[in-house]
Amino acid sequence: MKLYLLSLFVVLMFTAGSGLASQTSIQSGLKPIGSGEIRYMGIIKVYDASLSASREGTGDQILDKDISKCLNLHYAVSLTRDKFIRGAEMVLQRQHSKEALQSVQQHIEVLHAKYRDVQEGDSYSLCYDAPSRTTTLSLNSEKLVSIASVDFARLYFGIWLGADAPIDKNLRSDLLATNR
């Protein structure tokens, strides 16, 4: 059970920081929406998370294809890429049917192949640019991969922001600033 919980929290941690010209240009036009943190077993801080977007959205509106957004995760612990992948797959399988996942499976595999281990202080950013319909993953400002797919973006950002079984309901609420 502890491994399962840690794997879930690891998924959230894979996205933080700012960087690269493409990430910077996306983020520069966004406004802060909310922030929160994930703690393992309520004690050990795993990461700080923040969300910026081109406009606010309530609930699943934030996942709209016309809203640019960046989810940033700044890690307080070291984690392996395998934990990111296991955690993401667990949440995605909980949230979506096999058919829905199969429709973007190739994109998921491409993103997962680009994950790297993180050390304390590292940051992942997952940014979606609405005009280009492209999601970009960066680690410590280094672009790792870009994926052009609206369906993939909605599904993958849903790990944190989806109304249906997000990785952590309190974090989702904090990111969407719905508890303020």
pLDDT tens sequence across 32-60: 999 999 888 888 999 999 999 998 766 67
Query: Domains in the chain: how many in total?
Result: 1
In a domain, 180, yes or no: no
Bridge-based pairing state of the strands 44-53 and 69-75 = antiparallel
Asked if residues 164 and 156 have their Cβ atoms less than 8 Å apart, the reply is: no
DSSP letter (8 states) at residue 18: -
CATH at 140: 3.50.70.10
SS3 15: coil
* % of the chain at pLDDT higher than 70: 81
Hey, what are 21's tokens? Answer: 């010209």
Stated length of the chain: 180
In a domain, 23, yes or no: yes
DSSP letter (8 states) at residue 13: H
Mean pLDDT, range 78-87, rounded to an integer: 92
What is the Cα–Cα distance from 69 to 9, expressed in whole angstroms? 20
Q: pLDDT band at 178, cuts 50/70/90?
A: low
What is the Cα–Cα distance from 50 to 42, expressed in whole angstroms? 19
Determine the structural domain holding residue 166 and report its residue range: 2-175
What is the Cα–Cα distance from 97 to 115, expressed in whole angstroms? 24
Give residue 180's identity as a one-letter amino acid code: R
- Residue-wise pLDDT tens digits, 115-167: 999 999 999 999 999 999 999 999 999 999 999 999 999 999 999 999 888 99
Which pLDDT score is estimated for 112?
A: 96
Residue 103 has pLDDT above 80, yes or no: yes
Asked if residues 33 and 56 have their Cβ atoms less than 8 Å apart, the reply is: yes
Among residues 110, 124, 113, 138, the alpha carbon closest in space to that of 72 is found at 124
DSSP letter (8 states) at residue 176: T
Which pLDDT score is estimated for 134?
A: 97
Hey, what are 153's tokens? Answer: 């973006």
Among residues 16, 143, 152, 168, the alpha carbon closest in space to that of 79 is found at 16
Which pLDDT score is estimated for 42?
A: 81
Task: Report the predicted TM-score, pTM, of the whole model to 2 decimal places.
Answer: 0.83
